[in-house]
Amino acid sequence: MTKDPDWWRGAVIYQIYPRSFQDSNGDGIGDLAGIAERLPHIASLGADAIWLSPFFTSPMKDFGYDVSDYCDVDPMFGTLKDFDRVVERAHELGLKVMIDLVLSHTSDQHPWFKESRQNRTNPKANWYVWAEPKPDGTPPNNWLSIFGGSAWQWDARREQYYLHNFLTSQPDLNFHEPAVQEALLDVERFWLKRGVDGFRLDTINFYFCDKYLRDNPSLPKEQRNDQTAPAVNPYNHQLHLFDKNQPENLEFLRRFRKELVPYGAAAVGEVGDSQRGLEIMAEYTSGGDKVQMCYPFELLQPGRVTAAVLGQTFDRLAKAAPDAWPCWSTSNHDVVRTPTRWHLSDAGMRAYIVMLLSLRGSVCLYQGEELGLPEAEVAFEDLQDPYGIEFWPEFKGRDGCRTPMVWDMDNRLGGFSAAEKAWLPVPAEHLRLAVNAQAGDPASMIEHYRRALAFRRLHPVLKTGDMSAVTVDGDLATFTRSEGTATIFCAFNLGDAPKTVHLPEGTWRSIGMEIGCAAVDGNKTMLGAWGYALAERA
């Protein structure tokens, strides 16, 4: 494949959750060989790249986001040879391959941590964030874990606390230690040499914490939101000034970017912050010397993205850094599936994907999104996610969006596995939405996605063009995309009431009829509930 260094700009990236995509050996758990088998499905959608959630060696306390060996494949998923086959097959199909690097923390079973916790003088003693207790024996500060409780865990061997922003079994690496940075850059080099085209960087703004371990200030109740953690989690009660988002991260990201350049590779960072997500994204992607893309949580939020929210989001982004490059997503492995989360009808789902593909930036799609899968109801006794188990029943965790992909409507497990039981149950209501139930039906969700992605490819201005400010009129959001001599006017009615849309002066012609766009009559169009229109300047 030709290594276009800008392949990522405007790319559509399809996220695969390996445990739930395809099981090739009948153990009820998805694997790399299964992924290689199903890649033609992703290519047929018109995606440009895949993103693989973690498949590294891990005790699986957080399902691979607790890594014990960065440079090997967990036997549950196969071998390095299987991974090489995924890369080879993807490239044959014209797909780039991005893998999920979890650099902010490791598993407590990682050899680095096993050595670090032995005593205070070993060669890796400073590789993790260790701190003395307060005089009364309590943790060194008030930092909280996203998974509940203090972010500090006592270790009797060192008689110190170690930092864990997530599970106690996920100790945070100390990025203030130069040897840690170099070791992680070695991990990056290992996978680049193995043929990957880029990385999704988990919790990219958590890499550094404040070297002085200062307390976070409290956050007034009226300023709290649940974009980063569920509302029942006291994590939302703090303004996270010191446990993440530190300025030292910028220089590390520059070092990371330099390693990407010779390979024409790219990185997209996950920015988890409820107050400054867009501004941090702007810092991390602007200037052309850090990561190419980041995605914040503004379009992944629990509340529906209204026209007003869309306008505010792009206004903030324009003020923070006009040259920043976002990667938008409304769905992933950590949030309730979009149709359920936003209470969307089929018409609403169709409108949102066309809107997503019309925004300036790249796009991530999550497996099953193209089928219109709703959130699965998972009984407490079937839960696997420690997050859900901790906060049940007010927060049911992330298992409902991680259930297996459904390929075959006539198969009890949806064609995912030949096992008697999958690692998570396959809901009966998902079977009717399986790939083979929808493929070839022009009215189906999957065919709508295929047409929408093809339309974006047909109009490069939607991939890489400039974007005007978003104009908001109630539920109506309008904007233009322009590049060279091409200009496309975009209008989306994100509500139930009909709206009349007046286009800017000039001559416009209707486009996008194949993806459900309303026709334009001169400089005017009528949009019904969840209607949308795209028009090209003649």
Q: Annotated active-site positions, please?
A: 202, 270
Q: CA 197, 360, 502: angle at the middle one, nearest 5?
A: 155
**Torsion sign (Cα): 41, 42, 43, 47:** positive
What are the structure tokens assigned to 472, written together? 């908001």
- How many angstroms separate the CA atoms of 464 and 11, rounded? 9
Could you tell me where the beta strands, DSSP code E, fall in 453-531? 466-467, 471-473, 476-483, 486-493, 499-502, 508-511, 524-527
Q: CA 362, 1, 43: angle at the middle one, nearest 5?
A: 55
Could you tell me where the beta strands, DSSP code E, fall in 413-502? 466-467, 471-473, 476-483, 486-493, 499-502
Provide the pairing of β-strand 12-16 with 362-366: parallel
- How many angstroms separate the CA atoms of 152 and 258, rounded? 34
- How many angstroms separate the CA atoms of 326 and 10, rounded? 9
Does residue 482 sit in helix, strand or coil?
strand
Q: Backbone dihedral region of 422: left (phi > 0), alpha (psi from -120 to 50 degrees) or beta?
A: beta
- How many angstroms separate the CA atoms of 205 and 285, rounded? 12
Residue found by looking up tokens 């290594």 in the block: 3
| Residues 450, 456, 457, 460, Cα dihedral to 10° | 180
- How many angstroms separate the CA atoms of 51 and 96, rounded? 9
Q: Give the 3-state secondary structure percentages of the chain, helix then strand then coil, rounded to 5.
A: 30, 20, 50
Cβ–Cβ under 8 Å, residues 382 and 422: no
- How many angstroms separate the CA atoms of 35 and 67, rounded? 21
Q: For residue 417, give the nearest of 88, 14, 38, 41 by alpha carbon.
A: 38
Cβ–Cβ under 8 Å, residues 66 and 60: yes
Q: For residue 318, give the nearest of 142, 113, 106, 469 by alpha carbon.
A: 469
Q: What is the DSSP letter of 132?
A: P
